[in-house]
Structures are given as structure tokens and as C-alpha cells.
Amino acid sequence: MFSKKPANPTRPAPASNSMAGSNSSSTFSVIGSDVKIKGDVEASADLHVDGSIEGDIKCSSLVQGETSQITGGVVAETARLAGKVDGSIRARELVVLRSAQIHGDVQYEALTIEQGAQVDGRFAHGTKANEAVAGLKKPAPQPSGDQPKGDDGEPKLGLVN
């Protein structure tokens, strides 16, 4: 501390981070525990959610932390859920951890549920989950038929009493 050594002695370069040094395109985004989002979230990368999201989520891979809360639908290639989800889930590979609380329907191809997890909804295996995940990679088909259209050509929605 009080020596006469230079302030910045020469040190060997630290080993490079395997993610930073690799040429792969695997990246991830983190939504921290102090973040609250109102609106839909769409990510081409992997997504780690510790915060709160009020809206739908579409991503290639979702990891949800124990303190996280999602109110909306989830569509992902793979999902690992540990927090609370109020909404439907569609994933090719789904892992529900013991701390998870799911209130909604679940569509999957491969499913793992740890003992103690709470799921209140219906399960559907197979093609519906595959179709949903495939929708991540290509645009949704345009609706056709005898729907009423507004002045701008967009489908018009009406309220039913």
C-alpha cells in the first residue's frame, strides 16, 4: 500500500471468457429481479427472467428464476421454470422445478416436473407444441375468410353482449 511499486504492475492477461472468446452466436438476455415489464417480450437469444413480466414471452430458451413472476403466455423452444406463471406455456422441452407455480395450460413435447411443483391447468403432448415453436421461426399465417374489415383493410373486432 505504501510501497514505491508502480501503480499498475504488469500482470499476465486474464484467461478469456469462453462465451466472449467463442465464435458461436449464443447470447442471452437477463431481466433482473428489480425489473418489471408491462408488455410483450420477444428475444432471438436465450432469456433469463428474475423480474416480473406482464405480457407474452417468445424466445428460443427461457430460464425463470424462483422469485420471477410472468403473467401472460410463454412460447419457447426450451423452458426451465422455477417461479410463478399465470398463462399458457408452449415449449418443445419443458422443465418445471419444485418451486414453480403454474396456472394455465401446458403444451410440450418433452416434460420434466420435479416433485413439489404446483401446476393448475391441462397438459397436451405433441404436435400443438411443435407447431407453436415452429411459429417462432416463421411469420404467422394471415387470417382469411369473411371477417369484417376496417377502412385500413385490417380485421375489425366487435364486442359481443
Grid-cell match 416436473, residue found: 113
Predicted confidence pLDDT, tens digits, the chain (161 residues): 555 555 554 444 444 343 443 334 568 899 999 999 999 999 988 999 999 999 999 999 999 999 999 999 999 999 999 999 999 999 999 999 999 999 999 999 999 999 999 999 999 997 655 565 555 554 444 445 555 555 666 555 544 44
**pTM check: above 0.75:** no
| Residue 66 neighbours by CB under 8 Å, 6+ apart | 82, 83, 97, 99
- Beta strands across the sheet bearing 101-103: 36-38, 52-54, 69-71, 84-86, 101-103, 118-120
